[in-house]
Amino acid sequence: MNIVLLMLTGGFVGWVGYSFLGFNQARGMRVSILIGAVGGFIGGKMVAPIFAAATAVPADFSSPALFFAAAVAAAFLAAGNLLYNLWGV
């Protein structure tokens, strides 16, 4: 359940980045949501345990992991937008 929540958070950040901020508009909304979901998963499962206190049971909900999921998803979207604008990748 935690993985789904992290990916939904990243997907929501991707949707907000596409709809309101105009990130990755040339690629489309689905790609922005996908980039956000992957960023949310990586942020919640790989980055959060490095910087935040580990939970007693890894399957439990963690608000710092949710924050890191959103932050890494936003960073992935910004990097994807930058790469597309510079090199068309």
pLDDT tens per residue, range 3-17: 899 999 999 999 998
- pLDDT reported for residue 48: 87
Q: Which domain holds residue 33?
A: 2-87
d(CA 41, CA 52): 15
Question: Is residue 69 within 8 Å of residue 44, measured between CB atoms?
Answer: yes
The two most distant CA atoms of the chain are separated, in Å, by: 44
Predicted TM-score of the model (pTM): 0.87
pLDDT tens per residue, range 20-60: 988 777 788 999 999 999 999 999 888 988 887 666 556 67
For the chain, how many residues are written?
89
| Lowest-pLDDT range of 1-5, 31-35, 68-72, 74-78 | 1-5
Q: Looking at the 3D structure of the chain, how many domains does it have?
A: 1
Question: Of 50, 52, 61, nearest to 2 (Cα)?
Answer: 61
